[in-house]
Chain A
Amino acid sequence: MAKILMKGNEAIAEAAVRAGALYYFAYPITPQNEVGEYLAKRLPEVGGVFLQAESEVAVGNMLFGAASTGKRVFTTSSSPGISLMQESISYMAGAQLPVVLLNIMRGGPGLGGILPAQSDYFQATKGGGHGDYRLLVLAPSTIQEAVDLTMQAFYLADKYRNPVMIIGDGMIGQMMEPVEFPDEHTEPPLPAKTWAATGASERRPLVVKSLFLDPIALEKNNIVLHQKYEMMKRDEIRYECYKTNPKNKILLVAYGTMARICQTAIDELETEGISVGLFRPISCFPFPESQLYAEATKPNIETVLTVEMSMGQMVEDVERVVARQRPVKFFGRTGGIVPSPEEVIDQIKQLLAAGTPAKAKA
């Protein structure tokens, strides 16, 4: 199929339809409204369901009910909207329901702003709702990757019977790039969805639930969930290295839009004869721990610089992984400000010049 020029939000919407996700429940919030607007027209064409809910609280619970049918369902939202869905996300994780959620992150906390940010990393990767659970979290850095990861997300949600969250930001949602949709989505076959509520005609009734009043049963459910997350850590690590080589003294760590900006900075530094590499997590949970450790502790690396569109969130995972083997520095802008490549270059040059610590800008 030929490449077509599409806006990120619309490309993600089309990718979901092509992954067989024909059921979409959402509430409008900037900067991801084009997803719902696109699907309001597209889904009826393919026999799907588009429903604009009364709130994100309702959306999350519509997803619970919808996913209980065994069909592929999803929603998209932005930071404050995702916060309102945390109740249902916890319930869906507890009941082991496959759903896909897209968070086109904007500046926060609170109502914050509508411009790009990466300040929901903690919420996405560390919990957000109550209880012991994890989401599988994927972070695209191009619109093509957003398309590919969206299609994969539905498969992974089914495979693990777990909510999957894609974290983009206003930049990924709003910019336009050429994208190509795979003609056919080929993944290994999945087991039949015997857990779905389809009516007790030829079997005993089943219950889709997260309530386990018996503490032994609840602990057992938590152990089952934990084992699933351990499987994800083993099998679903995704990352990319950019221009990492033995000459580099500095390793950048960044994801999503910020990783693209870091790549531009790296390319510009290369023209000046300065060699820097980038480690880009694509799966933020599971976090590519051993892979990052291996890159960060190569003999040539003197400093690891984490760059984010936040006041510093993923940097805590980087510090945890690098575990005092190398100094971990942080540079970030937030509030909807996207750092320029020049700002990143300036941070790198400062580190190379004097080994002085990079400082987070307010």
Chain B
Amino acid sequence: MTTTFARPESLQDVVTHYCPGCTHGVIHRLVAEVLDELGVRERTVGVAPVGCSVLAYNYFNTDFLESPHGRAPALATGFKRIRPDMIVFTYQGDGDLASIGMSEIIHAANRGEKFTTIFVNNAIYGMTGGQMAPTTLSGQVATTCPLGRDTAKTGMPIRMCELLSGLVTPSYLERVAVHNPQQIIRTKKAIRRAFQYQIENKCFSLVEVLSTCPTNWGKTPAESTNWVEANLKSYFPLGVYKTPEEVK
């Protein structure tokens, strides 16, 4: 009998703590499949954030560093500068990357650090219980904006791919989503491309993945995927924002 579907070697055979309907599991799997296919698992070091994916190191079958909140790009910089032969990726949520860690991600990207960032954007703080994120949509309800986000007081949701693509240093920036099978396939291609650029020592690479948070959105998993399609995707357009080929 031929095996057609198996657990990637880059994932451990464990149950995750993620909520039902959350797409962290899908994104973990895509990263793991790419590491397997590129044959780099044994020289990969991940950097875990603070937030829902704080325990990512329990699920990936690679070495990991556990970072303070938002500082994963600085840890990755320190590591990669000394071990350019290793494959380094950070896995960060929207609070981690776009709020407390904004400075670290901008400067790492601007220096063209040769690591890969997987940026999981679900427009809310998950682990701490549903507070407003810098990416929370206008009018979206969160525990710290119970009447809906008032952008007159809190500013507009931050679009990270657009913001980072304003930097001159060559980078690979793409926004994808994982709310349906077609997008999942596209996401895997983007993640593969990001790691490929790193293997070729070309550029800093960041893949922003629109994700779900049924628990804190107060929606069923099915409603959540619909909400990504109807709301998240329209404010955060999918697509390639920058490639190293564009910058000569």
Contact = CB atoms under 8 A, between A and B. Distances in A.
Interface of A: 23, 25, 49, 51, 53-55, 57-69, 71, 73, 87-88, 91, 95, 197-201, 205-211
Nearest to A54: B107
B74 A62 contact: yes
A61 B43 contact: no
Interface stretch (B63-71, B170-178, B196-204): B63-71
B41 interface: yes
A66 B57 contact: no
B64 A69 contact: no
B75 A62 contact: yes
Contacts of A211: 54, 66
A128 B82 CA distance: 28
Given A61-B75, A66-B82, A198-B83, 9 more contacts: A61-B68, A65-B75, A68-B45, A197-B65, A198-B86, A199-B86, A207-B64, A207-B65, A208-B66
B47 A65 contact: yes
B64 A61 contact: no
A201 B43 contact: yes
Contacts of B82: 23, 49, 66, 69, 71, 73
Contact of B78 (A25, A54, A199): A25
Contacts of A201: 42-43
Nearest to B86: A199
B61 interface: yes
B78 A73 contact: yes
Contacts of B78: 23, 25, 61-68, 73
A308 to B, nearest CB: 32
A51 B77 contact: yes
B81 interface: yes
Contacts of B41: 200
Nearest to A197: B63
Best-surrounded residue of A57, A73, A88, A199 (most CB of chain B within 10 A)? A199
A61 B83 CA distance: 16
15 contacts: A55-B103, A58-B71, A60-B74, A61-B67, A61-B71, A61-B78, A63-B78, A65-B80, A69-B79, A73-B82, A197-B45, A199-B43, A201-B42, A205-B60, A209-B48
A98 to B, nearest CB: 14
Contacts of B77: 51, 58, 62, 65
A355 to B, nearest CB: 52
B243 interface: no
Given A58-B103, A71-B82, A207-B57, A64 B45 contact: no
A95 B65 CA distance: 10
Nearest to B87: A199
Nearest to A22: B82
Contacts of B54: 211
Contacts of B86: 198-199
B76 interface: yes
B71 to A, nearest CB: 4
Contact of A199 (B60, B63, B75): B63
A201 B103 CA distance: 33
B62 A210 contact: no
Contacts of B47: 65
Given A199-B43, A205-B63, A49 B81 contact: yes
B66 A205 contact: no
Contacts of A65: 47, 65, 74-80
Best-surrounded residue of B42, B54, B63, B103 (most CB of chain A within 10 A)? B63
B44 interface: yes
B42 A200 contact: yes
B88 to A, nearest CB: 8
B104 interface: yes
A64 B90 CA distance: 14
Nearest to A63: B78
Given A66-B79, A197-B45, A209-B57, A88 B68 contact: yes
Contact of B66 (A51, A54, A60, A210): A210
Contacts of A55: 103
B74 A53 contact: yes
Nearest to A90: B68
Contact of B79 (A54, A57, A68): A68
Contacts of A64: 65, 67-68, 71, 74-75, 78
A67 B77 CA distance: 11
A76 to B, nearest CB: 16
Given A198-B63, A200-B62, A205-B63, A57 B71 contact: yes
Contacts of A71: 82
A237 to B, nearest CB: 32
